[in-house]
Amino acid sequence: MTDAPPRFSPTAPFVPMAGVGGHHAQTIVAALVRRPTPPPGHRERWETPDGDFLDVDWLPADRRAPHLVVLHGLEGSSRAGYVLETLRGAARRRFGAVALNFRSCSGEPNRFVRAYNSGDTTDVRFAIARMRDAGVTGPIFGVGFSLGASVLLNLLAQTGTGCPLAGGVAISTPFDLSSCATAMDQARGLTALYRRLFLRSLKRKALAQCARLPHALDPSKIRRAKGIRAFDDAVTAPLFGFLDAEAYYRACSAGPKLREIRRPTLLLSAEDDPLAPAAALPDDVLDNPWLSVVRTARGGHVGFLSGVPLRPRFWAEEQALAFIDSLLSRR
């Protein structure tokens, strides 16, 4: 595809499930009820060039069929409900897919203290290359959620016209990492609860790695971290060679890089997202014809729960696959 396709319009408007219209309700209830049965697949462990490993879940399909690489959010995994729902949609279309677990997220500690961040694309590039080495010849599309969406957009921007993906979908992206960290660190109420839950998991893993690999990080600084920015100062920045958290945020925020993308890409975000609001999307985003932007008034963070209680529907995953269908119809 050498020319940007027409911009995507949703196949249906987003209508929140009755009684679940608030941003926290969308975020929390969607996560609780999104419990799809995993489609048939299997787990593989791939040895990485640096001597560590990646655990991935394969959804098998004809090697000539379209394939997805699906990227989860902060402290998620390939077993997250939104990942499984995407895989189920892919299976119905007879697509193949690889759901990647970022390092430290598969349920087994990695060998090295290095984990993942919002802009590190090394492991995703490796995964796409492994898919090709395994014989996949059909087009590969990326679907990312939250932090995974940031990683995906960084990859699309970094590679431009040479991108190994045929297109991408980024859902609930934190476009400005610094403002998102500030909002979470200053938040009260349920948003503060999200922060505490993230930090508890992040700090537990980092301290466990410190015990296994002494001198890699300063455990006392990790224990003192009371916010996302403090954790990134203590762990993410030094692990990836950044001076501090702010330098990491500047280098890895996807928002300023959107103009560099040269593959059809859907940006789907909610105005009321408590963690990564759509308002952080740059004003000039539509100057890039390769980008389709869908902003909903409601939906929360990776929520977008519609339908009725006995038959919930997950609008974001539906629209992600509809966008990919629209691209395939033009190939």
Please report the pLDDT score of residue 136 as a whole number.
98
* pLDDT exceeds 80 at position 11: yes
Share of the chain above pLDDT 70, in %: 100
Instruction: Assign 237 a pLDDT band (cuts: 50, 70, 90).
Output: very high
In single-letter form, the type of residue at position 194 comes to Y
The pLDDT value recorded for residue 33 is: 94
Looking at domain 1-175+254-331, its CATH class is alpha beta
Position 53 scores a pLDDT of 98
Q: What is the pLDDT of residues 37-95, one digit of tens each?
A: 889 999 999 999 999 999 999 999 999 999 999 999 999 999 999 999 999 999 999 99
Whether 331 shows a pLDDT value over 80: the answer reads no
**pLDDT tens-digit map of 191-218:** 999 999 999 999 999 999 888 888 889 9
How far apart, in whole angstroms, are the C-alpha atoms of residue 16 and residue 38? 25
SS3 content of the chain, % helix, strand, coil (to 5): 40, 15, 45
User: Given a cut of 70, is residue 10 above it in pLDDT?
Assistant: yes
Q: What is the mean pLDDT of residues 297-320?
A: 97
Q: Determine the distance from the C-alpha atom of residue 9 to the mean position of all C-alpha atoms in its chain, rounded to a whole number.
A: 21
Average pLDDT, rounded, for the chain? 96
Catalytic residue among 146, 172, 269, 292: 146
Supply the pLDDT for residue 212: 84
pLDDT confidence of residue 35: 87
Q: Let me know if 146 is a catalytic residue.
A: yes
Q: Is the pLDDT of residue 2 over 80?
A: no
Give pLDDT, residue 205: 95
Is residue 273 annotated as a catalytic residue, yes or no?
Answer: yes
Q: Give the pLDDT score at 131.
A: 98
**Confidence category of residue 1, pLDDT binned at 50, 70, 90:** low
Among 176, 301, 306, 326, the active-site one is 301
Q: What is the rounded distance in angstroms from the CA atom of residue 21 to the CA atom of residue 18?
A: 7
Residue 301 is among the residues annotated as catalytic for this protein:
yes
Name the residue ranges covered by the structural domains of the chain: 1-175+254-331, 177-252
Give the predicted TM-score (pTM) of the model: 0.97
Query: In angstroms, rounded to a whole number, what is the distance separating the alpha carbons of residues 273 and 309?
Result: 22
What is the pLDDT, as a whole number, of residue 315?
98
**What is the mean predicted confidence (pLDDT) over 94-104?**
98
Spell out the residues 6+ positions from residue 33 whose beta carbon is closer than 8 angstroms to its own: 305, 309, 312
Quick check: 227 and 191 in contact, CB under 8 A?
no
Indicate which residue of 273, 292, 306, 326 is catalytic: 273
Q: What average pLDDT does range 9-21 have in this prediction?
A: 97
The pLDDT value given to residue 37? 86
